[in-house]
Structure 1
Amino acid sequence: MARLAAYIVISVLTICVSGQRHCYSCNERERPQDCENVATCSAGEQCITDKYISEEGHTFFNLGCRPGRVCQILNQFGKRALTASVSRDKRRLIHLCTKCCDTDYCNKDICADSTPPPTMQKRCYVCDDLTKTTQCEFEKSCEPDEVCFSEEYLNDNGEFRINLGCQRKVVCDALSSALKNNQQTGRDTGVNHLCNACCSSDHCNLTPCKNITNAFVAGRR
């Protein structure tokens, strides 16, 4: 019975964690598109963007997470709930807009005056010396000739580590070629490097390296 109860608790926790949103999280950005920090929200929270204007006429945005029940209230009352001025950090601010959205990374495109021009640049997670990809909370726009990259390796102490970032496409092509050669000859890539992988969709390197298509995995036959 105790084992059954433990299994139920673990299952519930797993479901809750899997339902957590990834949202941009920054304060006082001139544009929501300038935010590059990513937060993992608590279960039941949604992404949100607030837009303010100061008494000096400066407009700025705050991005983050907000409980779903708060977002429901905001959706119900709309702009009527945002007409009052608010006091913050000893400044007089006028609250222009608050909007929620309930998909990953959605809060860069709400409360903005206009949609930013389309770009071919990939948005990729960028962190070093991780033990798991979900620890990374920073992302950036790669250069036009780059895609997302993930690397798993053992450091000098034999400890498992992960690096995430951007990588040039020509390097990724070389990795892909090396993967084909490795599959044909059965050669290992080395003791320290366990996996290298490139991917070409936004935020795709949050996926564990070995699960990325065409991952270059050490020792793969």
Structure 2
Amino acid sequence: MPSYAICLVMSIALTVTDGGQMCGICSFITDPTDCDRVTECGQHEVCYVEKYASSGGHLLYDVGCKSSHECKSIVEKRREEIDDSPMSGDFQMCSSCCNDTKLCNVIGGHCGSQALDMSDRVLCYHCNHLRSPDQCETVRACPIYEQCYIEQSEGGLSGSLLWTSRCGHESGNCRSPGIPVDSVVGKKRSSEFCAACCSEDLCNNNCTLATGNGLTTPTTATGPLSIPVITFVTRLYDVQIGSYIHLTCRAHGNPTPKVSWSFSAPVKPENIRTENNGADIYIDGVTEENYGHYACNAMNSQGQDNRFVDILEHGPSG
């Protein structure tokens, strides 16, 4: 039989603000710093990190968003000793929340993970050929002197206007902080195209053009069609009666997929509510009626993708 020594340590109290924080959102990763996907958490949510051991004994992490109410009373669980015996199911070892900086659950060193020194680096969006400048959900840590960069250009056989965001050195255009838009527009680009450098974390997700009246207007573009791909879905462990649950599902695709949840029950329990156009569901005070099989579905005109989550009753301890 496996032997475990479990230490319970109350986490440091959080100073929590409501919503809007940018957090890493990944599952089944070997360290939070391996996560390069981000999302903006909803109202009353903060970033979280969970560390667990898989049934094969591998140490893995999940990162994402969690309700600030749940995080205020969170307890860190750490397994001090693991032998080589196989386990049945995943074993949660640590859960921690933060809200102090962007991507704090990726770079902050929570739950025994690697911390990143960002004093000489800046977080930049890093995507190619998107139809809108604010669609990028992947990031890179770039040297701060190189800045972040975003540009619009013609792409594909159709000549569609597409957006690229990346570290500044890859464009050869960002050489000093505060470089103006006019100086980074290439000679072969039309004056209707936009390009810009910036030096703040996650600043390269928009670009504006000057108009005749001195105002700026955001630009948009179209891109190739693609089927939906679900990139994140909440993982759950055993759930106790009376618990609070937040299920999140995120997907990519063009057109933007419609994300929704379904629950295999004859009647929808009254304590389930949806937000974010159906992509998030909340269960206030779990009852026996909430246990079962939940499915996330992402659908657009090109197809669909599905992921499944089981909410199981918390078994007796010991």
TM-score, with structure 2 as normaliser: 0.46
Gaps of 5+ in 2: 1-17, 80-86, 215-318
What is aligned with 2:104? 106
What is the aligned partner in structure 2 of residue 163 from structure 1?
Answer: 164
Q: 1:181 to 1:46 in 2, by over 3 A?
A: closer
The structure-2 alpha-carbon separation of the partners of 1:219 and 1:131, relative to structure 1 and needing over 3 Å to count, comes to farther
Which shows bigger deviation, 170-179 or 21-30? 170-179
Q: Which amino acid aligns with 2:89?
A: R
**Which residue of the partner structure matches residue 93 of structure 1?**
90
RMSD of equivalent CA atoms: 4.0
Partner of 2:126: 126
Specify the SS of the correspondent of 1:179: helix
**Residue aligning to 1:179:** 182
Task: Give the match for residue 197 of structure 2.
Answer: 198
In structure 2, the residue matched to 1:7 is none
Distance across 2 between alignment mates of 1:126 and 1:105: 15
**Distance change >3 Å, CA 19–CA 56, structure 1 → 2:** closer
Task: Give how far 1:137 is off.
Answer: 0.9
Q: Which runs of 5+ in 1 are unaligned?
A: 1-17, 84-89, 183-187, 212-216
Distance in 1 (alpha carbons) for counterparts of 2:50 and 2:21: 18
* CA distance in 2 between partners of 1:131 and 1:178 (Å): 20
Distance 2:175 2:213 in 1: 18
How far, CA to CA, are the matches of 1:19 and 1:97 in structure 2? Answer: 23
Which residue is equivalent to 2:33? Answer: 33
Q: Report the alpha carbon displacement of residue 131 of structure 1 after superposing the two structures with TM.
A: 4.3
Aligned pairs, how many? 183
Give me the TM-score of the superposition, normalised by structure 1: 0.63
**Partner deviation per Cα, 1:92-140 (whole Å, 9 max, x = no partner):** 3321111112243211112234534557443210123334433211112
Task: Give the deviation of 1:48 after TM superposition.
Answer: 0.8
Aligned-residue offset at 1:170: 4.4
Amino acid at match of 2:208: K
Alpha-carbon distance between aligned partners in 1 of 2:45 and 2:89, rounded to the nearest angstrom: 28
In structure 2, what is the equivalent of residue 47 of structure 1? 47
Task: Please report how far the alpha carbon of residue 71 of structure 1 lies from its aligned counterpart in structure 2 after TM superposition.
Answer: 1.8
Deviations 1:162-218 (A, max 9, x none): 321123184323994893699xxxxx9853652211123332213x2239xxxxx69
CA contact (8 A) 2:184 2:196 kept: no
- CA 190–36 in structure 1, closer or farther in 2 if over 3 Å, else same: closer
Asked if the contact 1:152/1:194 (under 8 Å) is kept, the reply is: yes
Structure-2 residue corresponding to 1:67 = 67
CA distance, structure 2, for counterparts of residue 191 and residue 19 of structure 1 = 39
| Higher share in helix | 1
Structure 2 counterpart SS, 1:191? coil
